[in-house]
Chain A
């Protein structure tokens, strides 16, 4: 009876103690200064996210508290705290006009942290500050979910946990110990976090109380208008626009990578603008959607788009099917409501334009112009028109004109004459970026009576893994021209005649040439070959870059864009019926929680003695005799065992004796400082002991 209840008693003895009185000690100043450092870092980070005024206010409160800690003075009286709190509330409402939005929320949180920190006196207060810091760390994912950021957040969590350890411990604990303890805790929590990430039911619908996406953010987008000189200024904007991964073996080459975002049919004195889609456009879009098939195109690809406020999605020209957005008759794809964060979609495109969009072209609107040709240009226009058999020939002639006239390509184009920018560009300055050429070419086409428009998007991108995977940045933004000839829209890119490097090798190559001053010089060829096929160290560097980019792509694909749909796809792969997915997830969660609980109690059940390192090694030594059917009996001491096996293997007696002696010294001896060295040499000795090898 007694024997039966014994394990149960031990089990109860091992259960965690009931909540006890909170510790009565005061937080140490060193710990508080560490906490202050963490909060300081959070406030400084806040400058990059939210309003300057709020960040400054938080910094002021934080500085006040740090001063209080240093001077060991008491916290401000209650009414001052009250005033500060009301001021913070007022500030958030003043700056953001209310509570909604991520920025308002995070600003409120940082003010809460600062105020709570200021007010803190007891341990309990500091615990709450630490909890708020965890929240703050997590909320940074609303703004940035890149790999570097998650590393920063994990480090921040480690530091906060370490401070919690220090606060709750009445005696001083070395920083190294608390850090390793918190690292162990975080490491233990990580598998659970990963499981929850993949299987916790994802929210499908919008919830009213969740902070809505606010459009005041600095999410990048392409402009809806094309102003000469504006796009050139983004040539050095290295921000990522989207990533592409091609499916299958069909990969377009660099000069085919025209990513159409928006078409601009409206001309305003050398500037171009997007025309908002009409209800008729949407009707056509709805029709095309019915026939669209993602397998129909020549190239199939997945796009992971970074957060953007743009309503037009980039797709490779010419689109045959799109998984997201409405495909308008001008081949651009329109999104009625922009996404709140990074998002992904699929596309299918072919090199030739799809005929399905050939609705009657509105010639009048596609010939409308505000620019007027000056006298010199008028002469040129007549030259081009004279004796031309058809529109195609005229297009040819103008294209050749661009090719054979000393136009120059520049990332820093000079400003044009305000009243006659076209004439100034075509006849005097002749230096420009892609938008100048696209704009000028299209205007000339319209002057010659050929319906045309400007297309804005991206060209090329950085190829990784031989082009299977492409990163497109805002610096890859490009503009080109489209003309209506022979009942088809045809792409004409005048930039290709001015700077073939831009089209054939991409913007990276171009910027490299630009930086080294080689653009347009005789050495262009060699510089390009160095760039495209790097040797030695730069090759290693390039490979590293490629790996990093690939990691970034996988991260975005599997982590950042893991949403309701992705979760459902994963479950489908695991064999769960789509319709039951939420029920299945809830079941998984409940079963998982119970399994964890059971595992926890199972761990508490007392079992055999835990072996020390030396014992583990000694058991390994004993095991080597097993093949000779010699086993150590339970109560046999190592020395007795050694005597027994030595009589069986006399030639090994010395080794056996030495191992036994060393084991005794490790396990029962008084080694203190030398134990680590002794253990490692013992380990080697055991490993080298071999009954098959002659001693």
Chain B
């Protein structure tokens, strides 16, 4: 079995100079969480999601969200077959392992909801029938935070379904030059893992040990987001569960069998910030940072 190192090597040769973001993206997938990449256009959001999907060797599909996209465009629809004289269900792009939802905030809330229900329940209901989605099923969504006109920002409840929110940012000078010189790898992305190996890794993440002490630390952080008075609402238990799950995946990616407080601390702004909204409208990342620095780690 090829190691995660190979994966990161490949990934980092595509997305230059962003080792943390690429690592967290992998962590997010291994933790079976959905990923939201939020950034201005042209920094490599789509490239990252493509690379991830391709390297994991899972079937993937891409949907470009627009305001006229309908739920059936994603889920699929029942059509009448003239030859067999029967209705049958034609699966939409949702029925894949990795779904790239580009510019998710451009779609109408109706379409967003359809996708987000699928994300949460890992299944869709069509005409009263439950149809299970692929296992594993990931959504990598991207959105552009600045473009306001004609967009439908995701409501909090739906943001809560994303395990992580990442942003890439501008590359540093050195890497931008490499990029401009065309030294990054663009073609021939071969999958590093087989679907079976991915399933193995996902189940291995579950075996990572989280001690009472580390859970206590996480719990203190969760409690602080609720009673600090900085946020409209504190973090939900689901947020806590996902945070811990992400920490386990991070420990796994780093080759450890136990979760450390370092994992929890590192993940705070990626797994928690997008679910929190400050009372005064200021940046929730800063407020979260204040809370993390007020909690003792020992």
Number of B residues with CB within 8 Å of any CB on chain A:
18
B214 A635 Cβ-Cβ under 8 A: no
Looking at chain B's contact residues, the main secondary structure is mixed
Check if B280 is an interface residue, CB within 8 A of chain A. no
Is A635 in contact with B296, judged by CB distance below 8 angstroms?
A: yes
Q: Which of B209, B213, B257, B265 meets A667, CB within 8 Å? A: B213
Nearest Cβ on chain B to A179's Cβ, whole angstroms: 29
B188 interface contact, C-beta 8 A: no
Q: Are B259 and A634 in contact (CB under 8 A)?
A: no
Q: Which of B211, B295, B298 contacts A669 (CB 8 A)?
A: B211
Assess whether B294 is in contact with A664, with CB atoms less than 8 Å apart.
Answer: no
Number of A-B contacts (CB under 8 A): 51
CB distance from B207 to the nearest CB of A (A): 10
Taking A634-B293, A638-B261 as known contacts, 12 extra A-B pairs with beta carbons closer than 8 A to each other, sorted by chain A number, are A609-B296, A612-B213, A618-B298, A634-B296, A635-B293, A635-B296, A636-B297, A667-B211, A667-B298, A668-B214, A668-B258, A670-B258
Give Cα distance in the complex from A636 to B294, angstroms: 10
Which residues in window 608-633 of A have CB below 8 A to B?
609, 611-612, 615, 618-619, 633
Say yes or no for B163: interface residue by CB 8 A criterion.
no
Q: Which residues of A contact B209 (CB under 8 A)?
A: 669-670
* Interface contact B261-A668, CB-CB below 8 Å: yes
A639 near B260 (CB under 8 angstroms)?
A: yes
A640 within 8 A of B: yes
B262-A635 in contact (CB<8A) = no
Q: Tell me if A637 and B262 are in contact (CB < 8 A).
A: yes
Residues of chain A contacted by B262 (CB below 8 angstroms): 637, 639-640
Residues of B within 8 A of A611 (CB): 298
- With both chains docked as a complex, state the minimum distance between the C-beta of A640 and any C-beta of chain B, in angstroms: 7
Give B contacts to A, CB under 8 Å: 209, 211, 213-214, 257-262, 265, 292-298
Are the CB atoms of A670 and B211 closer together than 8 Å? yes
CA distance A618 to B261 in the complex (A): 15
A611 to B257, CA, bound (A): 24
A618–B262 alpha-carbon span in the complex (Å): 16
A selection of 16 A-B contacts at a CB cut-off of 8 Å is: A609-B296, A634-B295, A635-B265, A637-B261, A637-B262, A638-B298, A639-B262, A667-B213, A668-B211, A668-B214, A668-B259, A668-B260, A668-B261, A669-B258, A670-B209, A670-B257
Q: How far is the CA of A611 from the CA of B216 in the complex (A)?
A: 13
A593 to chain B, nearest CB (A): 38
Contact of A615 among B258, B292, B293, B298 (CB under 8 A): B298
With CB as the reference atom, state the residue of chain B lying closest to A634. Answer: B296
Q: Which range contains the number of A residues in contact with the other chain?
A: 20 to 34
- What is the bound-complex CA distance between A619 and B297, given in angstroms? 12
With a cutoff of 8 Å between Cβ atoms, the chain A residues found around residue B213 in the complex are 612, 667-668
Q: Please, how many angstroms separate the alpha-carbon atoms of A62 and B91 in the complex? A: 85
Q: How far is the CA of A665 from the CA of B213 in the complex (A)?
A: 12
Q: How far is the CA of A640 from the CA of B262 in the complex (A)?
A: 8
Contacts of B298 in A (CB 8 A): 611, 615, 618-619, 638, 667
CB of B145, distance to nearest CB on chain A (Å): 28
A625 CB to closest chain B CB, in angstroms? 15
Distance in angstroms between the alpha carbons of A361 and B211 in the assembled complex: 96
Docked pose: A319 CA to B213 CA in angstroms: 76
Contact string against B for A residues 410-437, beta-carbon threshold 8 Å, 1 for contact and 0 otherwise: 0000000000000000000000000000
- Distance (Å) between the CB of B223 and the closest chain A CB? 12
Nearest CB of B to A618, in Å? 7
**Bound-complex Cα distance A635 to B258 (A):** 20
A615 to B211, CA, bound (A): 14
